[in-house]
């Protein structure tokens, strides 16, 4: 299963942080998905495009050096659950 990074970046720094990440791509775009509490998800395929050939450890180090306070790898399923909880907060408890 693909994994993704959960990143914590202060709200005041997120625009600059995401801009710097986007500059690594041929066609700069939004690369992070907000999940609340100054936390963001970076999908596996996007991380691989941003840091070609880098290991997860190297990617984490790059994210921290770029201004993230935390960067941890989560399984794709857990990351998707966080996105659903953010998008449909009332739906998750009913579904569970």
Please state the pTM of the whole predicted model. Answer: 0.76
pLDDT of 55 = 93
Interior angle at CA 94, CA 90 and CA 96, nearest 5: 115
Residues 48 and 2 sit within 8 Å (Cβ to Cβ)? no
Residues in the chain, pLDDT under 70: 1-2, 76-96
56: how many CB neighbours lie within 10 A of its CB?
Answer: 15
pLDDT of residue 92: 46
Amino acid 2: pLDDT: 64
């Amino acid at each position: 299963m693909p994994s993704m990074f959960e990143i914590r970046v202060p709200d005041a720094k997120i625009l600059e942080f995401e801009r710097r990440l986007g500059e690594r791509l041929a066609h700069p775009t939004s690369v992070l998905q907000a999940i609340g509490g100054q936390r963001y998800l970076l999908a596996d395929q996007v991380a691989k495009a941003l840091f070609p050939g880098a290991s997860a450890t190297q990617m984490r180090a790059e994210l921290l050096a770029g201004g993230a306070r935390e960067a941890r790898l989560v399984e794709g399923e857990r990351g998707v659950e966080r996105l659903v909880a953010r998008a449909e907060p009332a739906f998750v408890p009913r579904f569970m």
